[in-house]
Amino acid sequence: MTRFAEVHQALRERQEIALIDLREEDPFAQCHPLFAAQLSLARLEVDAWTRIPRLDTPVVVMDNGEGLAAVGAERLKALGYTQVSLLEGGLQGWIHDGGEVFKDVNVPSKSFGELVEHERHTPALSAPEVKALIDQKANMVVLDARRFDEYQTMSIPSGISVPGAELVLRAAALAPDPSTHIVVNCAGRTRSIIGTQSLVNAGLPNRITALRNGTIGWTLAGQELVRGAQEKFKPVTETERQQAASRALAVADRAGVKRVSLDQLAIQKRESTRTTYCLDVRTPEEFLAAHLPGFRSAPGGQLVQETDFSAPVRGARIVLFDDDGVRANMSASWLAQMNWDVAVLDGVSLSELTETGHAPLRLPVPAPPQHAISPAELAGMVAMMAILDQGSKNLLKTLVLDLGTSANYVKGHVPGAAWILRSRIAQDMRALLDIAKPYEQVVLTCETGLVSPYAAHEVAQISGLPVALLTGGNVAWRQAGLQVEQGETRLASPRIDRYRRPYEGTDAPREAMQAYLDWEFGLVEQLGRDASHGFRVI
């Protein structure tokens, strides 16, 4: 067991530690410690080696009394982790011992964003003020700092997609006239604050302001958002890149960002007592086209927004790469202020970007059984079950369990499949088995076939039935041209795997939007009570 005081001390002293909350995202978002990283028990085998790459990292696992921590600790030990312990008393023990707790997700970054605005008084305009400027056709540009898919869902009229780390690199090309007013927005507050302050820190000559409260503020003001916008940033000239690189380097130097060469990085990665995250902060498209071996894609704006996801080992070292001298330096400047040991990789030639596609995953070998079934074979069984439902008596009865995300299940799943959370198989699967028609086998699937193999042994033990895996998962099923069923047709578990963010989509209740803003306004005070973060603002 590890007590709250030990975890808190490690955080304050910048020692490496991974405080892992094994609950699903929704219960995690309701209440957790500031630097707890959510890593669902359901995906432990798939994600652990990537997110916690050093096997002797001190790992403290927690839950809120659901019994997940003990199971997760044993699974982590089976994966080779040597310093695994349980948080004494779990979440309630943390609270009892005086630990501060937070709501929502990506809280380290959001609380830091609020601290930046508090310390630097980041300039902002209200939604009605920005709308008035747009209506007046003022000399201005609206730059949306979110991911492109978020921007497409809903955006400010005339807005252009420029995800966070791209802002300093692209803004001069989009606003070449120094008298052009630049407005930066996101869905809520954090990315617009960080994006606006990035441009201010970089010394652009333009007037720069955030859209206060983002698309939430726009909606609460009763103003219409655009759906399906397509405007993206444009390429930059070499002169624009060089000017942006000079600005970004100056900001990184002010923040205390380190520099590292490939040779130095190779030595660091061999160190047995330090974790080094190697992250490529360019766009996902650039990463897929060519990247350095050993690096993972973490577009800079999202990295600063989601540090707890990309680097759950607090106190670890982070090395960032780009090919322009802007995005890595700007991203690193923020990580340094968030008390990370961060460096930018220098002196890399494009010829050294020798890998393409997605970074390979390191995955453990699942326990047996590992019987595979093709989409065509399962389709035949599904057709037979349809006949059975019409009155036939002696056909094979197959229970299909979908272990993917509930969102993907609702979008489309194997007809007749039930959705179940792997972390709740023990309590939720028995209800599926206790029905009038007995089953003769179970087929497991998920979106890509990655998660389901790790549940096969447990399902076989609980059901006492033969277990097969759908080869390639639901992706292979769709690629075979087979019909899918949509909707919440057969939910065996509650949909707690995804926290519904008040700032995503277009149909969140107004009360939830306002409550979210009110919560953000209180984060600076919470940071003061937590005292483990070490944040500073340049």
Please provide the DSSP assignment of 202-234 as one string.
TT-SS-EEEETTHHHHHHHTTPPPBSS---B--
Residues 403, 464, single domain; the answer is yes
Number of domains into which the chain is organized: 4
- In 224-347, which ranges are E strands? 258-260, 276-280, 296-297, 317-321, 341-345
Q: Are 194 and 113 in contact (CB under 8 A)?
A: yes
How many C-beta atoms lie closer than 10 Å to residue 113's C-beta? 27
Could you tell me if residue 359 is inside a domain? no
Q: Starting at the earlier edge strand, list the strands of the sheet with 371-373.
A: 371-373, 467-470, 441-445, 398-402, 418-419
Residues 311, 399, single domain; the answer is no
pLDDT band at 408 (very low <50, low <70, confident <90, very high): very high
pLDDT in tens, 121-155: 999 999 999 999 999 999 999 999 999 999 999 99
Residue-range definition of the domain harbouring residue 277: 248-352
Instruction: Assign residue 176 the CATH number of its domain.
Output: 3.40.250.10
Residues 96, 48, single domain; the answer is yes
Structure tokens belonging to residue 503: 């700032």
> Hey, what amino acid is at 279?
L
- Return the HEC string of 62-121: ECCCCCHHHHHHHHHHHCCCCCEEEECCHHHHHHHCCCCCECCCCHHHHHHHHHHHHHHC
Percent of the chain with pLDDT over 90: 89
As a whole number, mean pLDDT of residues 327-343 equals 98
Alpha-carbon gap, residue 292 to 279, rounded angstroms: 10
Nearest to 275 by CA among 481, 433, 33, 50: 50
In this predicted structure, what is the pLDDT of residue 433? 83
Residues 301, 215, single domain; the answer is no
In this predicted structure, what is the pLDDT of residue 391? 46
Could you tell me if residue 488 is inside a domain? no
pTM here is 0.94
pLDDT band at 503 (very low <50, low <70, confident <90, very high): confident
As a whole number, mean pLDDT of residues 417-442 equals 86
Could you tell me if residue 507 is inside a domain? no
Residues 101, 131, single domain; the answer is no
Residues 128, 228, single domain; the answer is yes
Could you tell me if residue 112 is inside a domain? no
Residues 103, 35, single domain; the answer is yes
Asked whether the predicted pLDDT for residue 364 surpasses 60, the reply is yes
Residues 432, 348, single domain; the answer is no
